[in-house]
Amino acid sequence: MIQAGGRSTRMGGETKALLEVGGRRIVERVADVLAQVADDLLLVTNTPDLFGWMGLPMVPDVFPDCGSLGGIYSGLKAAPGEAAFTVACDMPFLSPAVCRLVTSRAGDADVVVPRVGPHYETLHACYARACLGPMERRLGAGQLKITGFWDEVRVLAIPEEDVARVAEPATVFLNVNTPEDFERARAIAAASAER
């Protein structure tokens, strides 16, 4: 699942997914990596007109204005299978190896999520269908913190050192949330193109 439902307020309302990094839209970069790892792609968005050109199935938020938790719930509810891997649409440097590291453990817990320092990468994680009930209860109560339902499910954290064996965590998990993040992403892409 690609989460593309945010409002991009820190980017001045400009749709982050459509910004170009390394000559390609970020959401294209995301979809290309996910296509190497998953059989089916699904875009969670409330602005399908912006993404129709991608030719992907799309679903809107079931609970409007409920942030990332609402997007994860909406995609998981619509996705086939017992679990779904979800990523943000604004992560230009996803790594197939890191995606496989997370998805390969999907059967081990209800949430499989990388952890970097004290932070969980909740928008680069696998969620099992067992999460739907606990998520729905939180969403109905207006409790939108992604980790808020985790005490009701089995959670497996992938340690930072495991991620670092296959890719640089600071680059892989970079989100383009601000103009500064965008400039940093463009610089990383330019530097890697020069190698």
Specify whether the CB–CB gap between 147 and 122 falls below 8 A: yes
Q: Which of 78, 79, 27 is nearest to 54 (CA)?
A: 27
Q: Which of 172, 8, 2, 185 is nearest to 87 (CA)?
A: 2
Number of CB atoms found within 10 A of residue 161's CB: 8
3-state secondary structure of 28: helix
In the chain, the domains with their CATH numbers are: 2-194 (3.90.550.10)
- The percentage of the chain sitting over the pLDDT mark of 90, rounded to a whole number, equals 87
Distance from C-alpha of 92 to C-alpha of 32, rounded to nearest angstrom: 10
Return the percent helix, strand and coil in the chain, to nearest 5. Answer: 45, 15, 35
For the stretch 19-42, pLDDT in tens is: 999 999 999 999 999 999 998 999
Region of 5 (left: φ > 0; alpha: ψ -120 to 50; beta: rest) is alpha
For the stretch 122-156, pLDDT in tens is: 999 999 999 999 999 999 999 999 999 999 999 99
Q: Tokens standing for 144?
A: 């939108």
